Amino acid sequence: MEYFKELLNSLQRGVLSPVYLFYGDEVYLRDLAVSRFKDFLAGGDNSGLNYDPVDGETATPADIAARAEIPPFLAGKRLVVVKNPPYFKLHPKKAVKEDPEGDEGLRAPGKLEPLLDYLKEPLETTCLIFNTSEPVDKRKKLFLAVQKSGRAIDFTLLKKEDLKQWLAQKARAAGKYFAAGAAEALLDAVGPSLQCLVSEIDKLFCYTAGREVINPEDVRMVCPPGLEESIFDVVDAMGNKRYGKALNGIKDMLASKEPSPKILAMISRQFRLLLQARDLLEQGFKARDVQTRLKLHPYVTQKIIGQCKNFSRDSLICSLISLAELDAAVKTGRREFYPAIETFLLEMK
């Protein structure tokens, strides 16, 4: 959260860079930052005089550079926001390793030059913002040019304590507060994305209209966990040898009309991730390395690392073998899903 507060403080002080790159998983804060820049620099102007939204997927680098070079109209600054530009993308492994520009650079050499030339001496009266949801490649020429002339800001997901503080502030603003365990239940059900939390907390406010307190039971009624969170809970219960809780979780998923093959596939996937994470940790890799190598969301990585400590390597391998056999038996009609998964849990003891 500190990076966001620092950005807004610099904006309020009028200390601005001529170019920014906003990227990262926290979509809500990225879009909120763009909105604050728009209010501060263009006064909420939608006329196009001093606020110029650009579709990065269709505009060329030359178009973007030309728009950035337009002086403001009867104002001190002009804001140009480029949404979803493709020029910062992290290329897949098949991209040429020696050329971080990848296929784009090979197919259209020099096409970024107008924008690169602009960034060498950006117009001081223009604030140019690139806002992307894609993972970025920090080796790319354009990324390095933005860093040199302005700022590249990674909008990372907030830590759990920051999220709880944010939820408490939202509740206070609505004249409410979370009872013990309610905020944790909401985070467990929804995850760390502020965009998702905003939607769910509005539902909670409506559901608890007329009273101040939000209880864990309110959260369970309004924000039932998704399949992935339910699988986390089931595997957590397995790891802690609370097999009754694990079975109840599976019953709840079946009652919610989740297909049994999907539930089984998710449980199997979870055990594979636990085994891979355990192997990486034993090799000395850090949590961030585990996240990168397994291509997981930071929140999911945190859960996986916490869970894998509950299992030995041998038990994880045995579980995967048993799940594969169970899957084959269910698919061929030799066994019913629920009795089979119940037997699987009993054998884990």
Alpha-carbon distance 63 to 65, whole Å?
5
Q: How far is the C-alpha of 184 from the C-alpha of 163, rounded, in Å? A: 10
Model pTM greater than 0.85?
no
Q: Which residues of 109-133 are buried (b: 16+ CB within 10 A; e: fewer)?
A: eeebebbbebbeebbebbbbbbbbe
Q: Supply the pLDDT for residue 156.
A: 86
Beta carbons of 244 and 312 less than 8 angstroms apart = no
List, in sequence order, every residue forming a beta bridge with 55; answer none if it has no partner: 83
Whether 60 and 191 have beta carbons less than 8 Å apart is answered as no
How do the pLDDT tens digits run along the chain, 349 residues long? 789 999 999 998 988 999 999 998 888 999 999 999 998 887 755 556 789 999 988 899 999 999 999 998 877 889 999 998 988 887 544 444 445 555 444 334 458 899 999 999 999 999 999 999 888 888 899 999 999 999 999 998 888 888 999 999 999 999 999 999 999 888 877 878 898 888 889 999 999 998 999 999 898 888 866 666 677 778 778 777 788 888 888 888 888 788 888 888 888 988 999 999 999 999 998 888 888 888 777 777 888 888 888 889 999 999 999 999 999 999 999 999 999 998 988 887 6
15-31 burial, b if ≥16 CB within 10 A, otherwise e? ebbbbbbbbbbbbebbb
- Return d(Cα 57, Cα 63) in angstroms, integer: 12
55 membership: H or E segment, kind and range? strand 51-55
Phi-psi region of 179 (alpha: psi -120 to 50; beta: other; left: phi over 0): beta
Buried b (16+ CB within 10 A) or exposed e, 33-65: bbeebbebbbeebeeeebbbebebeebebebbb
* β-strands 151-154, 19-23 pairing: parallel
What integer pLDDT is reported at residue 64 of this predicted model?
94
> Which two structure tokens, joined as six digits, stand for 328?
């084959």
**Sequence-ordered list of residues with C-beta below 8 angstroms from that of 296, at least 6 positions apart, any chain:** 273, 290, 304
**Exposure pattern of 282-298 as b/e (b: 16+ CB <10 Å)?**
eeeeeeeebbeeeebee
- Structure tokens that stand for 277 in this block: 């994470």
Distance from C-alpha of 290 to C-alpha of 305, rounded to nearest angstrom = 9
Determine the length of the chain: 349
Both structure tokens of 225: 């966990």
Q: What does the pLDDT read at residue 45?
A: 55
Distance CA 86, CA 205 (A): 38
Please check whether residue 46 is in contact with residue 175, taking contact to mean a CB–CB distance below 8 angstroms. Answer: no
Closest by CA to 48, choosing from 22, 92, 80, is: 80
CA 333 from chain centre, in angstroms, equals 39
